[in-house]
């Protein structure tokens, strides 16, 4: 054996030190040290509770709380020495506290285990991460509302199968993303409720014999509820899986948004322009302006999907209670939260700066017979069955393809070749403006409805 150090938190049981490679292989401090703020917060609350329970004196509590504050300052100043032989963030902080306070520092761990300590730290950390993510999500939604209001009258083609279907407004299209993100917000808020349950007091797996007061710690740490079973409290990570599931759905939405932005900035579409600060060029092709931010968000979606799959796989075969497998929960969870927050931030910065090319959008909507459904609806209102109307319009479209004319460009005589029910008033429904304005109901693409939806959206954001 090559290691000279033994972790003093458990070394009494062992007759030789851990191998140096095994110490590095089993250590988590390189990545779980980012939990230090929440570990210190949980330890300070634990110390205060132990004082109320009569386990620590007030002087011991004050020394522990002050000592942990000083350790936090050391960490944030970059002077703290992280030791791999101490395995994780918890033992590094406790060892430093003991170094500073002596016997008093050793009393901190009374009535708890690293099992419930780490479960508490992760929940505290994830609670804060969800709050930060929600801030960026709200910012993105506010940007979408701003742009949608500005572009409420801007006409563009709506697509199905990426084929021109019916005209819509650009504002209406943007509000579709607002709706998707609203559901993502709801999922994250709901997920936070289950994250915000306290496992501290579960100890290793069975609770503790010390007279702890879990309600005190719960209130000090701002948890909404106390975990009801000690085995479950230390061993399950379903809250992390649930977060990754919600994050995956949000990233899926951002990825779809990204795909459209990539298409719309291409020379084939030219619907929008993104500011240079969100794009890059080519090292060999001087004409290129690449939409790197949406492309990268689209690619990063796979990281979050991977985190979800990884955590599900991590948990699926574990017996109760805690197992070392759970050390592998942090890196995918950390990465999923970082990726979602950064992606939302990038989009929140970028979306208000999108510049639509209105004339190109309008011309694209004019092509492709996007008002064909409007002509069919017109004939239905004349008393014809919809299926007959569908066939009539199909013949008219075929004629348009052969003649190179859109429906609105045909003369009345040309249109009447397909039905004698068509009169001069048909041209009011064949215009792009007539088409979008006719869909004047909640959720429709009419500019008046877009503006009303923007106001509803702003009221929703104000309530959060």
Whether residues 31 and 137 share a domain: the answer is no
> Which among 274, 276, 234, 277 has a CA at the least distance from the CA of 257?
274
User: Is 43 one of the annotated active-site residues of the chain?
Assistant: no
User: Is 282 one of the annotated active-site residues of the chain?
Assistant: yes
Coil/strand/helix, residue 280: strand
CATH of the domain at 43: 1.10.275.10
Residue 458 lies in a domain: no
- In the set 15, 161, 283, 441, the catalytic residue is 161
Whether residues 61 and 173 share a domain: the answer is no
| Tens digits of residue pLDDT in 413-444 | 999 999 999 999 999 888 999 999 999 999 99
| Tens digits of residue pLDDT in 240-270 | 999 999 999 999 999 999 999 999 999 999 9
Total tally of structural domains belonging to the chain: 3
| Tens digits of residue pLDDT in 58-67 | 999 999 999 9
Among 362, 385, 403, residue at a domain's last position: 362
Whether residues 171 and 293 share a domain: the answer is yes
CATH of the domain at 198: 1.20.200.10
Three-state secondary structure string covering 30-92: HHHHHHHHHHHHHHHHHHHHHHHCCCCCHHHHHHHHHHHHHHHHHHHHCCCCCCHHHCCHHHH
Whether residues 240 and 302 share a domain: the answer is yes
**Ranges of residues in the chain whose predicted pLDDT is under 70:** 1-15, 282-283, 286, 288
Whether residues 289 and 356 share a domain: the answer is yes
> Alpha-carbon distance 223 to 219, whole Å?
6
Tell me the helices (H) and strands (E) count for the chain, helix number first.
20, 6
Domain extent for 204: 115-362
Residue 459 lies in a domain: no
CATH of the domain at 415: 1.10.40.30
- In the set 73, 266, 282, 403, the catalytic residue is 282
The residues facing 283 across adjacent strands are none
Residue 461 lies in a domain: no
Residue 271 per-residue DSSP state: -
| Confidence at residue 1, expressed as pLDDT on a 0 to 100 scale | 37
| Confidence at residue 285, expressed as pLDDT on a 0 to 100 scale | 76
| Tens digits of residue pLDDT in 388-405 | 999 999 999 999 999 999
């Amino acid at each position: 054996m090559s290691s000279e150090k033994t972790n003093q938190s458990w070394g009494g049981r062992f007759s030789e030190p851990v191998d140096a490679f095994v110490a590095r292989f089993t250590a988590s401090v390189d990545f779980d040290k980012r939990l230090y703020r929440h570990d210190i917060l949980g330890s300070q609350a634990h110390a205060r509770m132990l004082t109320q329970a009569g386990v620590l004196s007030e002087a011991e509590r004050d020394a522990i709380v002050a000592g942990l504050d000083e350790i936090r300052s050391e960490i944030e100043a970059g002077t703290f020495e992280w030791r791999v032989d101490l395995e994780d963030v918890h033992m590094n902080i406790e060892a430093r506290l003991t170094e500073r306070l002596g016997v008093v520092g050793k009393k901190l761990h009374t009535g708890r285990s690293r099992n419930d300590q780490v479960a508490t730290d992760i929940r505290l950390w994830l609670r804060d991460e969800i709050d930060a993510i929600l801030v960026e999500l709200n910012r993105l939604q506010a940007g979408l509302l701003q742009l949608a209001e500005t572009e409420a009258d801007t006409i563009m083609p709506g697509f199905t199968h990426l084929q021109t279907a019916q005209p819509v407004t650009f504002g209406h299209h943007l509000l579709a993303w607002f709706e998707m993100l609203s559901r993502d917000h709801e999922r994250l808020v709901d997920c936070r409720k289950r994250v915000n349950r306290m496992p501290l007091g579960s100890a290793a797996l069975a609770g503790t014999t010390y007279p702890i007061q879990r309600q005190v710690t719960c209130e000090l740490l701002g948890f909404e509820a106390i975990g009801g079973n000690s085995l479950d409290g230390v061993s399950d990570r379903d809250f992390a899986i649930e977060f990754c599931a919600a994050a995956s759905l949000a990233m899926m939405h951002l990825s779809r948004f990204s795909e459209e932005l990539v298409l719309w900035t291409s020379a084939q579409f030219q619907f929008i322009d993104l500011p240079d600060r969100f794009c890059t060029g080519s090292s060999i092709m001087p004409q290129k302006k690449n939409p790197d931010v949406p492309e990268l968000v689209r690619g990063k979606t796979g990281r979050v999907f991977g985190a979800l799959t990884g955590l599900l796989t991590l948990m699926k075969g574990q017996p109760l209670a805690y197992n070392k497998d759970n050390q592998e929960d942090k890196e995918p969870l950390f990465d999923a939260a970082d990726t979602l927050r950064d992606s939302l931030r990038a989009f929140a910065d970028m979306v208000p700066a999108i510049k639509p090319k209105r004339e190109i959008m309008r011309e694209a909507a004019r092509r492709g017979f996007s008002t064909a459904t409007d002509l069919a609806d017109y004939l239905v209102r004349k008393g014809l069955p919809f299926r007959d109307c569908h066939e009539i319009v199909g013949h008219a479209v075929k004629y348009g393809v052969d003649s190179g004319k859109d429906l609105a460009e045909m003369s009345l005589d040309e249109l009447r070749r397909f039905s004698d029910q068509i009169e001069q008033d048909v041209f009011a429904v064949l215009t792009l403006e007539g088409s979008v304005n006719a869909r004047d109901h909640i959720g429709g693409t009419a500019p008046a409805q877009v503006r009303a939806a923007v106001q509803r959206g702003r009221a929703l954001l104000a309530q959060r």
